[in-house]
Chain A
Amino acid sequence: MRHIISILMENEPGALSRVVGLFSQRNFNIETLNVAPTEDATLSRLTVTTVGEDRVIEQITKHLNKLVDVVKLVDLTEGSHIERELMLVKVKALGAQRDEIKRTADIFRAQIVDITPSLYTIQITGDGGKLDAFLAAMQPVGVLEVARTGVSGIARGEKVLSL
């Protein structure tokens, strides 16, 4: 099963490599990874999506918790949560297709954020499935480049991940 683990860790050099290294060292799998500092400059928030049986996920969270740089973590998929990914995609946009691409982007609530005479750069947010569906819709016109952030997430309701 797929899990989204969100981690608050010390914003220190080497902390990221310890987390990433742990996954390869213990043969755990990383689907996506996303990391940035938080409102507290001493902390970074790292969100990783991984796939595994419950026993493996239990080991992953235990080993992550053991890392001295990891302050706190939560498995978002244990409860109701919001997950988002941002994607920037360049597609070929020529002649009549320019209108069609614009209409498709509107349907997906995506925005065209840059244009040239021959291509559009489109920004879209959502969960992974929505982004995949948009890419599939764009395939016929020609996808030139894709940049995805990986999943970021937060729990619904009153639950807060903080110190």
Chain B
Amino acid sequence: MELLSGADMIARALHDEGVEYIYGYPGGAALHIYDALFRQDKVQHILVRHEQAATHAADGYARASGKPGVVLVTSGPGATNAVTGIATAYMDSIPMVVLCGQVASHLIGEDAFQETDIVGVTRPIVKHSFSIKHPSEIPEVIKKAFYLASSGRPGPVVIDIPKDMTAPTERYEYSYPKKVRMRSYSPVTRGHSGQIKKAVELMLKARRPLFFTGGGVVSGRASEALTDLVRRLNFPITTSLMGIGAYPQGDRQCLGWPGMHGSYESNNAMHHTDLIICIGARFDDRVTNNTSKFCPTAKIIHVDIDPSSVSKTVRADVPIVGPADAVINEMISLVQGRELANPDALEAWWSQIDGWRAEREGKLYEPSAPGEPLKPQQVVEAVHRATRGEAFVATDVGQHQMFAAQYYKFQRPNRWITSGGLGTMGFGFPAAMGIKMSYPEDDVVLFTGEGSFQMMMQEFSTCKQYGIGVKIINLNNQSLGMVRQWQDLNYKSRHSHSYMESLPDFVQLAGAYGFRAIKVHTVEELEPALEEAFRNKDELVFLDIYVDPREHVYPMQVPLGSMRDMLLTKTERT
């Protein structure tokens, strides 16, 4: 058996785990590990310009590939800078392993230089965490961390590594375990058959059924099975913001996504359905609006791998704890050869839904006339056309995020990359980098705004270093659009600190790093700029697109109302 130092064990274990990229930033407590990385060439380290970007880049990689993202930071500020990214991954159940340097064991608790109790700081935002107590534990802890991060309901795992655990002078036997077992952790592998039968009977008898599926279908790789089941039954489906792409958008059966800014037909269908078949979504407050008025006539089947998600905010009538793919496949085998009890009712339900669709057809927004400021929605639609709906799309947070979700139509899962749960501004740019590095042949688009982008714009430098060709669509409305929208609606248009004064000239800024950048003001300039931007897939291009700052995101649910209570435009409501 080989003798390795703790630091070399880390590098080796990451390779044995199949890790391609680590995103990180060096510092004192992590230097032994960085030296070990220098002396190998299997795992590639990507140097970001801020630790938060490391976590978001790893997160973007994980969301696109389905594999855990890996982060390496030093102790103290290195680790605390990573906290927002860890919380972002936690809220969206993204597999991630974060290795944090720590001060040497004998200094812990003494307020040593760059010491933070990062295990304590991150406790509420991790799936689990480890602190290395002896170098010989390293291979097993790393194996456990990857197993925990990627199995069951995925999530981030932190490993705290005191500097003396990686000392080059101490060597121990290295072998990487093929498997780990933990007596206190055994994620379910299938759902309860009796419950699934019960669910299927309800589905066959339903008069106004509706699938409502979420991120669990994406991370559970159950998209194909879901599409099969939904098509067999000819039921309508709405996917949560996190579940976009798990069922092809634009398909007749897909109603878009529900919730605060969800589609008119989705929210109406949710309100009127008599059976919600929820798979891998968690009925969060941005979906349900007021839970006491939520879906008054619906029975709820709730499939989730995490029992604590079931009946948390909304009581499930048929709870099923299990992985999405296994449960859906069991449902498929049960519906095979069976007939719907009320096919006429389903027909009538479809006409009702088509009626809602027709009501809003062509009324979603007013495209701008030549010479007028561009509408953000039409920019998203133009990008969708330019990329044939096949790009990876990362976003930041705010109006542009909602417009991107509403107007870019995804055909596949893992292509829509957004911070849904935590709503982290600054997420998008590094996430796009993480995606592009793993999918160099694909178009990777970042929809951002001038507010979000400035939170992580230092990453231009990382893109320059590694030649990362993401396409940045800056929907520049010179204000914090979503904040401004709420101020318009709830604070009599008192725009408290939602106006971004002293914006940089983004074209010059991108130019300073050597990137092509184009300012776009009018509809005539848009198509040629997009054409130029997407001509070369290896090149980072920044489009600074000025859009109408007065535009609001609609529909918008009325606070404390039911699913169908919506503002449809600035002057219309349901």
Contacts and interface: CB of A to CB of B under 8 A. Distances in A.
Q: Quick one: which of B124, B182, B184, B307 has the most chain A CB within 10 A?
A: B184
A68 B124 contact: no
Interface stretch (A14-22, A29-37, A108-116): A14-22
Contacts of A70: 184
B131 A65 contact: no
A68 B127 CA distance: 8
A21 B123 contact: yes
Interface stretch (A54-62, A94-102, A117-125, A133-141): A54-62
A159 interface: no
B308 A66 contact: yes
Interface residues of B, number: 19
Given A59-B312, A71-B183, A66 B131 contact: no
Interface string B92-126: 00000000000000000000000000011001100
A75 interface: no
Interface in A43-85: 55, 58-59, 62-63, 65-66, 68-71
A68 B123 contact: no
Contact of A66 (B120, B123, B129, B306): B306
A14 B312 CA distance: 26
Given A14-B131, A18-B123, A25-B124, A69 B312 contact: no
Contacts of B124: 21, 25
A59 B124 CA distance: 16
Contacts of A69: 184
B442 to A, nearest CB: 35
B370 to A, nearest CB: 54
A17 B120 contact: yes
Contacts of A55: 311, 315
B114 to A, nearest CB: 21
Interface string B490-517: 0000000000000000000000000000
B148 A68 contact: yes
B216 to A, nearest CB: 15
Contacts of B127: 68
A147 interface: no
A32 B553 CA distance: 48
A58 B123 contact: no
B128 interface: yes
Contact of A63 (B148, B182, B308, B311): B308
Nearest to A14: B119
A84 to B, nearest CB: 27
Nearest to B315: A55
B119 A68 contact: no
B547 to A, nearest CB: 39
B320 to A, nearest CB: 14
A13 interface: yes
A55 B319 CA distance: 14
A80 to B, nearest CB: 26
Contacts of A62: 307-308
Nearest to A26: B124
Contact of B131 (A13, A18, A58, A63): A13
A13 B127 CA distance: 16
A59 B119 CA distance: 24
Given A14-B129, A163-B183, A65 B120 contact: no
Nearest to A22: B124
Nearest to A10: B184
A13 B123 CA distance: 13
Contacts of A13: 131
A25 B148 CA distance: 21
Contacts of B131: 13-14
B123 A59 contact: no
7 contacts: A9-B184, A14-B129, A17-B123, A55-B311, A66-B306, A68-B128, A68-B184
Interface of B: 119-120, 123-124, 127-129, 131, 148, 182-185, 306-308, 311-312, 315
Given A10-B184, A14-B129, A17-B120, 17 more contacts: A14-B131, A17-B123, A21-B123, A21-B124, A25-B124, A62-B307, A63-B308, A66-B307, A68-B128, A68-B148, A68-B182, A68-B184, A68-B185, A69-B184, A70-B184, A71-B184, A163-B183
The 5 A-B residue pairs with the shortest CB-CB distance in the complex, in nearest-first order: A62-B308, A71-B184, A68-B128, A25-B124, A62-B307
